[in-house]
Chains A and B, each alone.
Chain A
Amino acid sequence: MKNDNWVKILFAGAILMLISQIAKIPLLFAVSFPVVFATWMILGAIRKNQIGQGLKLSIVSLFAIWVIGFLAMNLMNHSVFTKTILAFMPGTSIMIYLIWLLPFFVGTLVYSLRFDKEYLAEEDIKAFQKLHKEAEQK
């Protein structure tokens, strides 16, 4: 998909976020802000009109984590203490382990591991340096 179409999706996501804030609909906020995050990251990850498989999977996974995690936290009742799961109340466990810890592995680490193949390959650097030299000579 071209950049323009991703920008349109980002635009739609932002409008939904605005509506959710004005109309006080946390559930709508919870599903619309991941749209903004994911499309913005896609814009950055696109290289020659394509995104690498690793980065694509990473962004899709992050989108799923955010939507599922934030919807779950919004739907749960946090006003009653029943038990702890991995040392925290159930909703807080989702916050800590799903929203905080997991994106490090699924997002940040994947970016570094796929960097050379999908973000900035050696041939891109050489092509750019050649272009830069030609521009300087002009």
Chain B
Amino acid sequence: MNIVILVIILYMLIVLGIGFWAMKKTKSSEDFFVAGKQLGIMAVAMAAFSAAISGFVFVGGPGLAYKLGVGTLWLTFPTSISFAMAWIILGKRMRLLAETRGCMTVSDAIYARFESKNASFLAALASLVGLVLYLATQISAFAFILSPIFGWSFKTAVIVGMGIVLLYSVAGGMLAGVYTDVFQGSVMAVASLFVFGYALSNGGGMANMTKVLAQQVKPEFVGPWGVLPASLAMGWFFCLAIGIVGQPHIAHKFYMIKDIRKLKWGPVIAAVAGMLGGLLWLSVGLVVRYKVAIGEIAALENSDLAISVFLDNYAPKILAGIIYAGIASAVMSTADSFINLASAAIVRDIPKAFDKKFTSEQELKYGRLSVVILSILTVIISFVFGKSGVAILGAFGWGTFAAALAPTLGIGLNWKRATKQAAFWSIFIGLGLNLVLEIGSKMGANWYAVIFKPLGIYNGTFSLVISIIVFIGVSYLTPESKLKEDIEAIMNA
């Protein structure tokens, strides 16, 4: 355990060092929110991968696989194609918007396209809600990983984790997040490969684990759906694939690219890194369940501890230290992205809807203040919901963004007939419906149990599909607007 703590501290020092270096380069709100629009493709691709994956894959994922089987991988398998989807559907047009309109947020893009304050305000609100939920996921993942290592309670670990992110985010903004993403994303991608190797060797190979788990648990556990209904598993794949188009923490990365030509290799880099994370998810969850099935270890009280159990018992200490530190810093840099985006929603997007605009210096100052307020809110949410499970909380956030924003951004930027009324209603219904369904599900509401639970569907998918239908339907029912010349040029490019 001493080697583990040593590696964690060393890793953290490197990451914090990068963070403070970034602080010195952060002089304007453009630096704070979009890293000065000066990034190369490796930085953007690794930032996109890290924003998408993070604590969700490395902590929640193995836990879900342990509990529910192979079918949970549908949450991460889209990575082989979803980044390409985002790049194809959004990449070029978002980057051109940054160039022509100075867009820094998703809400800016929606305003530029539709010239609707209502739609952009709702987009900012949707971003804020989803980002805070996602942030709570990251901090909860951090707490799960580090509390047993340092002997802290879950709540103490949440406070420590949020405190480090706060320091980091106030200082360096998006620059800090992105450059640490390159470092820790690269380390985690490679380390995932080693973890996969150790997991396979400890399980006697994948074929052996498959056979034993099929016999000792049940065959469905290692089948493509796991112990889940097929409709839920497919729903996860759908929402986690195309829903990427509505994720502000990914769409926003396109603004940061220095040269639009750099869009070329981005999805390959991000997809490879994501797929390596998927190998970790698959192998760790199964090998820990295998060890329980053959009686070598006791059943886990909390499935999110699967990664800790594996690293503590079956991986070399240095590798365990790297993974723990990597998870912690992945959480921190992803949380930094989220908190800065949420801060941008508060100091730029929402005031803009009321015709209020701050100067760059004011945006920087208020941006840092809102980071503090959001941190406190996140700690509260983590205390209340963190124990529900890291991956489920992450799915809540992803589904909310997908339903609220994917049609408006993904279809709206590629279809001239789309109208501002459609954008407003799609965001409103997507956001509202998903929140109502998720809260109903989590609170065990009777109406949810009677109407939706028997359907065996993923709320995010259901809400996203409704949002798509509303977006296209309302567009056809409302008058088409004339596009500004530069927006038309962007949509023709």
Contacts and interface: CB of A to CB of B under 8 A. Distances in A.
A95 B468 contact: no
Contact of A44 (B90, B218, B271, B462): B90
A80 B219 contact: yes
A92 B222 CA distance: 7
Interface string A60-90: 0010000000100110001111001001110
Given A108-B271, A116-B264, A119-B88, A21 B469 contact: no
B466 A91 contact: no
Interface size class of B (residues with CB under 8 A): 35 or more
Interface string B90-122: 101000100110000000000000000000000
A18 B168 CA distance: 43
Contacts of A62: 81
Contact of B410 (A40, A92, A125): A40
Interface stretch (B143-151, B305-313, B411-419, B438-446): B411-419
Contact of B77 (A11, A17, A87, A100): A100
Contacts of A55: 88
Contact of B468 (A14, A88, A112): A14
A95 B223 CA distance: 9
A54 interface: no
B210 interface: yes
B42 interface: no
Interface stretch (B183-191, B230-238, B294-302, B350-358): B230-238
Given A62-B81, A135-B485, 15 more contacts: A4-B415, A11-B472, A18-B466, A21-B235, A36-B242, A37-B242, A44-B85, A44-B88, A44-B89, A87-B207, A100-B278, A104-B81, A108-B84, A112-B267, A119-B263
19 contacts: A3-B417, A10-B411, A11-B472, A24-B231, A26-B231, A37-B238, A43-B411, A44-B88, A62-B81, A78-B224, A92-B70, A92-B210, A92-B223, A99-B237, A100-B73, A100-B275, A107-B84, A111-B84, A119-B88
Interface of B: 70, 73, 77, 80-81, 83-85, 87-90, 92, 96, 99-100, 205-207, 210-211, 214-215, 218-220, 222-225, 229-231, 234-235, 237-238, 241-242, 245, 260-261, 263-265, 267-268, 271, 275, 278, 410-411, 414-417, 455-457, 461-462, 465-466, 468-469, 472-473, 485-486, 489-490, 492-493
